[in-house]
Amino acid sequence: MLPMLLAMLESDADRAIFADAYEQYHVRMEQAALRILKDPHDAEDAVENAFLKIIHSFDKFLEISCKKRLFWCVCIVKNEAIMILRKKKNTILLESLEDTYDAGVDISEGISYEDIVRLFAQLPETYRAVLEMKFLLDYTGKEIATRLHISENTVNVRISRGRAMLREIMEKEDIHP
Binding site for other proteins (CB under 8 A): 6, 9-10, 15, 18-19, 22, 26, 28, 30-32, 34-35, 38, 40-41, 43-44, 47-48, 51-52, 55-56, 68, 70-72, 74-75, 78, 113, 116-118, 120-121, 128, 131-132, 135-136, 162-163, 166-167, 170-171, 177
Q: Which is nearer to other proteins, 31 or 92 (CB)?
A: 31
**Rounded-to-integer distance, Cα 80 and Cα 43, Å:** 9
The rounded distance, in Å, linking the Cα atoms of 43 and 48 is 9
Least gap, CB of 24 to other proteins (angstroms): 13
Minimum distance from CB of 92 to other proteins (Å)?
26
Nearer to other proteins, 56 or 149 (CB): 56
> Minimal distance in Å, beta carbon 90 to other proteins?
22
Nearer of residues 88 and 163 to other proteins, judged by Cβ = 163
> Which amino acid is residue 128, in one-letter code?
R
- Buried b or exposed e, range 101-115, using 16+ CB within 10 angstroms: eebeeebeeebeeeb
Amino acid at 163: R
| Residue of 82, 56, 93 whose CA lies nearest to 144 | 82
Rounded to whole angstroms, the Cα distance separating 96 from 98 reads: 5
C-alpha 112/C-alpha 9 separation (Å) is 40
Q: Which is nearer to other proteins, 118 or 142 (CB)?
A: 118
CA dist., res. 83 & res. 78, Å (int): 9
Q: Which CB, 78 or 86, lies closer to other proteins? A: 78
Shortest distance, CB of residue 18 to other proteins, whole angstroms?
Answer: 6
Q: Considering the complex, what minimum distance in angstroms separates the CB of residue 116 from other proteins?
A: 6
- Residue 107 DSSP class: -
